[in-house]
Amino acid sequence: MKILTHTFISFFISALFSASVIAEQKIEDDNYIVHYSAINTTMLTPKVAKASGITRSRKRGMLNIAVQKKQKSGQIEGVLAQLNGNVSNLIGQQRTLEFNVITEGAAIYYLAEFFLDDGERLSFSVNVQPTPQYRGLKVDFDQTFFIDK
């Protein structure tokens, strides 16, 4: 997993998570919250894509995950975690997701790229392990992607 630090991409990444919070794209337990969203990489500006090491293409998508720990004070804070997972299509073709870590102050994001076709429904399955001792959380979701022509 690569770790990258960029200050000028935080607004865009935050906007993605703001949209995902509205859509309730999150899972949580008593200790952690995991936010996730998947987009076509053409939604990224060239500057943000380059800074994040993401390839902009109509046939590429990006999975964005943030892991937060709930504090006793009621606050939440971004935490490092181990992520592993895969993406598969309806005919069972599966690819391993390789996550890069982006840090922006206290915020921590995990980005992984994947290939897609127009109208394709993809299934995502990601294991999130905040600490080696923690039982972990599982992110499973399906999403259909459409390509602008």
pLDDT of residue 24: 61
pLDDT of residue 42: 93
List of the chain residues with pLDDT < 50: 2-12, 14-15, 17-22
Tell me what percent of the chain is helix, strand and coil, each rounded to the nearest 5.
15, 50, 35
Dist CA 115 CA 62 (whole Å): 9
**How many of the other CB atoms lie within 10 Å of CB of 129?**
15
Asked whether 96 and 63 are in contact (CB, 8 A), the reply is: no
Q: How many domains does the chain have?
A: 1
Dist CA 113 CA 123 (whole Å): 14
CATH number at residue 66: 2.60.40.3340
Strands (E), the chain: 3-5, 26-28, 32-40, 60-70, 76-78, 82-88, 94-97, 100-104, 107-115, 120-129, 137-145
pLDDT of residue 51: 87
pLDDT of residue 33: 97
**Which residue in 111, 120, 115, 100 sits closest to 3, CA to CA?**
100
- In angstroms, the first-to-last Cα distance of the chain is 33
Length of the chain: 149
pTM of the model: 0.83
Domain residues for the domain of 130 are: 3-145
Q: ∠98-28-69 over CA atoms, to 5°?
A: 80
